[in-house]
Structure 1
């Protein structure tokens, strides 16, 4: 395919070129692009990995999903940059699966006495992903999150719920808009 030649740039020494290739692959958004983007997920540079994650599309492919799930379950997941964690969790949220909802709930519920900063950062990333997920199950988890002791997490959950509600309202308004009757136009 036309995209396959972009695979040659996965290990290119110039970071800017790798980023350009990632963005080009993201615009394509097909399975062949995803396969190449997956190779960028093992890059040493966090910006490259994050860009690849943001450009990865969920197309129902179990291999891609499993690879990203594995990234979220790694021991050093909490130590990753906030942007990378958020990109991983948002990709997973794009599946809108019950399994991922349960995983995000487990992250949200985890409070740590030691290293609370990294834990709370990860929990906020989970809230953001649940907001993107916007399923009834995700909304229920966010409602549970509004009762968490940490104020920042509670506020983030409330914000995500408000955003989901306003998006649902705008969808309803679009459905309810009356269609103009073509007979009335002809009669005038």
Structure 2
């Protein structure tokens, strides 16, 4: 279970380095490409993604959310702990899903102000490369498993709102925040 060696201060920047795209933007619906080269340029992208995520109080951010079509995800479920290191997942693949399902509320930096219940497996096993190019395997459950699944969905052009069962409540929440329910692409 390798956490990142790339560490940035967990603080809000007045001008985060990257712009987060929002629901309705076509870039969020395009599948990301596998990362073929792990180099200093990619590590700098990771640094900027972390700064942007922390600036928005996020616990996960996928590269497509900031207009970068690469299979790259940053996650930090422990925003309050300055010592906790983030996860950097390059080309992540879920290898196993647990049999238990859990319903919990999700939100997304690309759909600010909207929260809704989503059912997902409570435990997963994922493989990925870290920012040094080493293959890693991680067994995750609870919030970390949920965030990994949420972010991997982004890599496939899927957003959490696509997984919401209660469409009426979702449509009301979206309308309150100025989003079009037509931007949702239900998976069911």
TM-score tier by shorter-chain length is under 0.3
TM-score (norm 2): 0.28
Q: RCO greater where, 1 or 2, for CA within 8 Å and sep 6 or more?
A: 2
The structure with the largest alpha-carbon Rg is 1
TM-score (norm 1): 0.28
